Amino acid sequence: MIPRKSLYPSFKVLIVDDEEPFIRSLSIALERSAGINNLTRCQDSREVMGILAQGGFGLVLLDLNMPWLSGDKLLSSIIEEHPEVGVIIISGINQIEPAVRCMKLGAYDYFVKTNEEDRLVLGVNRAIQMVEMSKEHKEIRSRLLHDRLENPEAFEEILTGDKAMRAVFQYLESVAKSAMPILITGESGVGKELFAHTAHRLSGVEGPLVSINVAGLDDNVFSDTLFGHAPGAFTSAHGVRKGMVEQAAQGTLFLDEIGDLSVTSQVKLLRLIQNGEYYPLGNDRPKRMNARIVVATNQDLDKKQAKGEFRKDLYYRLCAHHVHIPPLRERKGDIPLLLNHFLGEAADALGKKRPTYPRELETLLANYPFPGNVRELQAMAHDAVSTHKAKMLSLDAFKRKIGSMTLPAHDHDARDVPEDESVFVSSKSLPSVHDVTDLLVTEAMKRADGNQSIASRLIGISQPALSKRLKKMKQGD
């Protein structure tokens, strides 16, 4: 008996036909060619509605011509009583009129019983994906509407109090059980691997999480790593090697840095996702993939597509579910939470007492754009704890790491303003240099919470120069 967790799809597929040999043949074809094994069989059309009433069904493969109740009548009943269940008509009649009638009633697709087995399997697989997407969208809307997480413990490793991050959690929880790939994007250091581990835990699969960083792998190494090889496949292949796809059976295959994958390797990955089959090197018999795929990148795949460096068809396959992690500078409220965690983590690792830190530290960090994101903050905290000796943590270690905050902050802001736009309003006269300087100093002091040392770093001048300017402004007032 197949373990419950290895069933695909997540919902049941009901096959209804009065001919038992056809049901058996179709069941074998669906499992062999597409891994579809969550099947329920029914030869008596009078039992269909009772079976569906038990729940858990997402798709019905329905014969049109049967004794007792015809497929037409059953189709109308299913659409009326179970509108969430998709229906594919499979008929022995190759006529347009019945097909048009069934499509008007609400059937998802119509196939004729022929020897075109591959076409039928592709149609069923396509319908399964549509039903899965529909269910996931409903689940996402429900979770966002009620602002809930069913499995908050799965996110314990990701420290945040940010609303945007919570929305990402809700989305990931909604799509984690899907058999479709999940694409995780975000800048370097935001924690994409943590999200991949979380997606694996939420998926409920019984197999392992197998991770591969594909950056720098040439095509041959990529193929051997993913698909494995048979003895004699190449000179040094003395035995059988199981590829990562096989090692991830019943689990999750996580491909990190997918944006660095060569175009040749992209083609092989696309075929794996499309067909669910792969060939170990030196073996002419295909193996079926029995793992879900999660990929991650810190690169802009849209730009890589425009340059011809990433295939569009692969991108559309991978982003069936897209999880984007916001950078740390867009969720500054998380900085104190993360800082306290990393300081405690560093103190435990170094066998030191957890240090306290001055209030100015949070202000200093809140005004830094963190190009390295959470990973950079962690490194700062560990470095500061490793060198501190007094009870109060010194700001010097953080200031050394940060350096001048003017250039990084300016670079980030410049990306937000299009080249043909201005920070000034064209309908108003330009302010004087004196006025602009006063405005800049005022804003810096506001962001620095009145701390002159931090404010001077924000605008790239010395603290004495800032102090002198503030005195002039006060005298002017």
Which whole number is the average pLDDT over 317-342?
94
Mean pLDDT, residues 150-155:
91
Handedness of CA 30, 36, 37, 39 (dihedral sign): negative
In the prediction, which pLDDT does 39 show? Answer: 96
Which pair of tokens denotes residue 280? 């170990």
The CATH homologous superfamily of the domain defined by 421-477: Homeodomain-like (1.10.10.60)
Q: How does residue 423 score in pLDDT terms, banded at 50, 70 and 90?
A: low
Q: How far is CA 110 from CA 70, 354, 381, in A?
A: 15, 67, 62
Q: How confident is the model at residue 236 (pLDDT cuts 50, 70, 90)?
A: confident
Give the angle subtended at the CA of 167 by the CAs of 165 and 169, to the nearest 5°: 70
> 148-326: which CATH topology?
Rossmann fold (3.40.50)
| Helix H or strand E segment including 267 | helix 263-275
Asked if residue 88 lies in contact with residue 127, where contact means CB atoms within 8 angstroms, the answer is: yes
Quote the CA–CA distance of 382 and 396 in Å, as a whole number.
Answer: 14
In order of 90, 111, 138, the CA distances from 121 in angstroms are 12, 10, 26
Question: What does the pLDDT read at residue 207?
Answer: 92
Percent helix, percent strand, percent coil in the chain, to nearest 5: 50, 15, 35
Greater model confidence, 410 or 464: 464
| Burial grade of 254 (CB within 10 A; 0-12, 13-18, 19 or more) | buried
Beta-carbon contacts of 476 under 8 Å, excluding residues fewer than 6 positions away, are: none
Confidence of residue 406 (pLDDT cuts 50, 70, 90): very low
- Closest C-alpha among 399, 395, 407 to residue 459: 407
Buried b (16+ CB within 10 A) or exposed e, 100-135: ebbeeeebbbbbbbeeeeeebbebbbebbeebbeeb
Question: Which of 346, 334, 332 minimizes the C-alpha distance to 380?
Answer: 346
- Give 177's pLDDT tier (boundaries 50, 70, 90): confident
Taking the C-alpha atoms of residue 447 and residue 171, their distance in angstroms, rounded to an integer, is 33
pTM: 0.71
Q: How confident is the model at residue 426 (pLDDT cuts 50, 70, 90)?
A: low
Burial class (CB in 10 A: 0-12, 13-18, 19+), 359: exposed
Mean pLDDT computed over 372-397 = 90
* Predicted pLDDT at 297: 97
Share of the chain above pLDDT 90, in %: 51
| Range from 319-323, 324-328, 450-454 that averages highest in pLDDT | 324-328
51: closest CA among 35, 36, 39, 63?
39
Residue 434 three-state SS: helix
Write down the domain spans for the chain: 4-138, 148-326, 328-416, 421-477
**Residue 326, token pair as written in the block:** 């916001």
CATH annotation of 328-416 = 1.10.8.60
Kindly tell me if the per-residue pLDDT of 409 is higher than 50.
no
Q: What average pLDDT does range 385-399 have in this prediction?
A: 86
Binning pLDDT at 50, 70 and 90, where does residue 404 land? low
Res 2 pLDDT > 50: no
Mean residue pLDDT across the chain: 87
Cβ contacts of 331 within 8 Å, gap of 6 or more? 160, 162, 164, 165
% of the chain at pLDDT higher than 70: 92
Q: What is the mean pLDDT of residues 149-154?
A: 90
Q: What is the amino acid identity at position 438?
A: D
Farthest CA pair distance, the chain: 99
Tell me what the mean pLDDT of segment 128-149 comes to.
76
Do 4-138 and 148-326 fold alike per CATH?
A: yes
The two tokens of residue 44 are 């008596």
CB atoms within 10 A of CB 206: 12
Q: Report the C-alpha gap between 319 and 302 in whole angstroms.
A: 12
* DSSP one-letter string for 162-201: -HHHHHHHHHHHHHTT-SS-EEEE--TTS-HHHHHHHHHH
The CATH code belonging to domain 4-138 is 3.40.50.2300
In this predicted structure, the answer to whether residue 405 has a pLDDT above a threshold of 60 is: no
Q: CA 311, CA 217: separation in Å to the nearest integer?
A: 17
For 286, left (φ over 0), alpha (ψ -120 to 50), or beta?
beta
Query: How many Cβ atoms from other residues are within 10 Å of residue 353's Cβ?
Result: 9
418 has pLDDT over 60: no
The Cα–Cα gap between 379 and 135 comes to 41
pLDDT of residue 143: 65
7 CB neighbour count, 10 Å cutoff = 15
Q: What is the pLDDT at residue 216?
A: 86
SS3 323: strand
Can you tell me the distance from the alpha carbon of 438 to that of 58, in angstroms, rounded to the nearest whole number?
Answer: 65
| pLDDT for res 144 | 64
Angle between helix axes 219-227 and 263-275 (nearest 10 degrees) is 30
pLDDT tens by residue, 91-114: 887 778 888 888 888 999 998 887
Band of residue 415 on the pLDDT scale cut at 50, 70, 90? very low
| 382 pLDDT above the threshold of 90 | yes
